[in-house]
């Protein structure tokens, strides 16, 4: 097999990159270890920055997002029994759209199929070869048969557990990591919305987040021990915890419903540098992980893809390699900005077991500051909607 760009991973980064390259007349093949049904049904958060929604719209895959996604112009910070609103649009001129990641993937898969793009699912035994030469290739098995895909460039969009990052010699990259001593317990609930906008709650019992997936399905999270199991949490215990953390002293409360999914996710920050070795480039979770507090994961992947698309387009159209050479440095500027914001949000909103009573009061003081100072609220809003220049 032969193509111009070989892409490993059919997540948001890989599929969007393939589609954007197609729109520019550049061929690609996408290889994915999971099945199509699995990637389209794995429910993950989906808070999209306006820059992300704009790019999806420009790429022709934003129709369903516009009709089914929920545009939010702000969010609420709940602490000390009260809720205070951050006016994203009023402070920045931008908004966010709540549209689940698996719905984005459905749209991208449909677009690639409609364009006769090659996306191979259920691929196994994937390995990279010759990435430090001008003739890289990807070897893999598909439908029980071995294959080798020859290409000009290989793009690793296969997440933190994929083969791409580990194909860069350990001596040539530097990894930065922070593992948090807590996780998020997530539930999906059949219920009407508890609020028209997201609620981020800081409570002495721990963090909580309330968001909307649809008019009848809500997504809620609360801070937990990452070693917990879902079997330890009955529905009654879950609702008691959410009410304690989110309900306000002014009568606002979490709306209960039928819980039909429970899961626990760990929390970490991670950046691997460099994001390029020879003809291999990393994008999305293959290069960086952020705690979900700042809603940056999918948006960072899209930002990587935007930069990489421009770099590959300039190579194939003009023979330029300067944007490819600077891809890693360019992408990392935004990545580190988003990492800092996500870390700051996480530290401010979560119960920290190692925090003294003095430090706990500093958290409250920080929240008071960002909800009463226009300058502080603007800085927070700019980071949240992705309007910070880098």
Q: What is the mean pLDDT of the chain?
A: 95
Express each pLDDT in 275-324 by its tens digit: 999 999 999 999 999 999 999 999 999 999 999 999 999 999 999 999 99
Q: For this structure, is 357 an active site residue?
A: no
Q: Which of 153, 180, 200, 327 is catalytic?
A: 200
> What integer pLDDT is reported at residue 354 of this predicted model?
86
Spatial distance between the Cα atoms of 168 and 304, rounded to a whole number of angstroms: 18
How large a percentage of the chain has pLDDT more than 70? 99
Least confident range from 16-25, 54-63, 129-138, 208-217: namely: 208-217
Which member of 19, 72, 73, 203 is catalytic?
A: 72
Q: Predicted confidence band at 41 (pLDDT cuts at 50, 70, 90)? A: confident
- pLDDT of 1 reads 93
277 is an active site residue: no
Identify whether 343 is a catalytic site residue: no
- Please state, as a whole number, how many other Cβ atoms lie within 10 Å of the Cβ of residue 226: 17
Enumerate domains of the chain plus CATH numbers: 5-71+95-176+268-345 (3.50.50.60), 181-266+353-385 (3.30.9.10)
Catalytic residue among 153, 288, 292, 350: 292
pLDDT > 80? residue 20: yes
Which one from 153, 221, 327, 384 is the annotated catalytic residue?
A: 384
Task: State mean pLDDT over 136-162.
Answer: 97
pLDDT class of 390 with cuts at 50, 70, 90: low
Mean pLDDT, residues 199-221: 92
Asked whether 2 and 153 are in contact (CB, 8 A), the reply is no
Catalytic, 296? Answer yes
Picking from 320, 316, 324, the residue whose alpha carbon sits closest to that of residue 274 is 324
Count Cβ atoms within 10 A of the Cβ of residue 317 and give its class: 0-12 exposed, 13-18 middle, 19 or more buried: exposed
Cα 245 to chain centroid, rounded: 25
Q: Do residues 333 and 45 make contact, with C-beta atoms less than 8 angstroms apart?
A: no
Q: Cα–Cα distance between 274 and 281 in angstroms, integer?
A: 9
How many whole angstroms separate alpha carbon 350 and alpha carbon 208? Answer: 8
Percentage, residues of the chain above pLDDT 90? 93
Of 19, 277, 296, 350, the catalytic one is 296
Tens digits of per-residue pLDDT, 292-302? 999 999 999 99
Q: Has residue 389 got a pLDDT over 70?
A: no
Can you state the angle between helices 297-318 and 327-349, rounded to 10 degrees?
Answer: 170
pLDDT of residue 194: 93
- Which residues are 270's β-sheet partners? 177, 289
């Amino acid at each position: 097999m032969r193509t111009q760009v070989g892409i490993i991973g059919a997540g948001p980064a890989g599929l969007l990159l393939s589609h954007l390259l197609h729109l520019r007349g550049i061929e690609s093949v996408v290889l994915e270890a999971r099945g199509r049904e699995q990637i389209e049904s794995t429910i993950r958060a989906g808070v999209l920055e306006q820059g992300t929604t704009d790019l999806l719209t420009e790429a022709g895959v934003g129709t369903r997002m516009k009709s089914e996604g929920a545009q939010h112009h702000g969010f609420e910070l709940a602490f000390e029994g009260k809720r205070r609103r951050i006016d994203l649009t009023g402070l920045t001129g931008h908004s966010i759209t709540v549209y689940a990641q698996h719905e984005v993937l459905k749209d991208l898969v449909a677009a690639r199929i409609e364009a006769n793009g090659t996306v191979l699912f259920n691929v196994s035994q994937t390995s990279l070869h010759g990435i430090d030469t001008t003739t890289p290739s990807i070897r893999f098995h598909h439908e029980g048969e071995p294959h080798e895909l020859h290409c000009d460039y290989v793009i690793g969009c296969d997440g933190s557990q994929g083969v791409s990052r580990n194909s860069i010699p350990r001596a040539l990259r530097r990894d930065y990591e922070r593992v948090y001593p807590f996780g998020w317990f997530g539930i999906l609930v059949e219920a009407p919305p508890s609020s028209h906008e997201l609620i981020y709650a800081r409570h002495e019992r721990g963090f909580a987040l309330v968001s909307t997936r649809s008019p009848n399905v809500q997504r809620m999270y609360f801070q937990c021990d990452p070693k917990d199991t879902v079997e330890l949490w009955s529905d009654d215990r879950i609702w008691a915890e959410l009410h304690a953390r989110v309900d306000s002293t002014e009568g606002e409360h979490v709306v209960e419903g039928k819980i039909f999914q429970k899961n626990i996710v760990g929390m970490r920050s991670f950046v691997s540098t460099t994001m390029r070795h020879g003809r291999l480039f990393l994008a999305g979770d293959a290069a960086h992980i952020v705690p979900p507090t700042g809603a940056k994961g999918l948006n960072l992947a899209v930002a990587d893809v935007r930069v990489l698309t421009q770099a590959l387009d300039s190579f194939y159209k003009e023979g330029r390699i300067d944007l490819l050479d600077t891809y890693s440095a360019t992408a990392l500027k935004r990545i580190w900005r988003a990492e800092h914001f996500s870390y700051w949000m996480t530290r401010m909103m979560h119960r920290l077991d190692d925090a003294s009573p003095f430090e706990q009061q500093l958290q409250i003081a920080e929240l008071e500051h960002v909800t009463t100072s226009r300058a502080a609220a603007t800085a927070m809003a700019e980071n949240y909607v992705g309007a910070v220049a880098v």
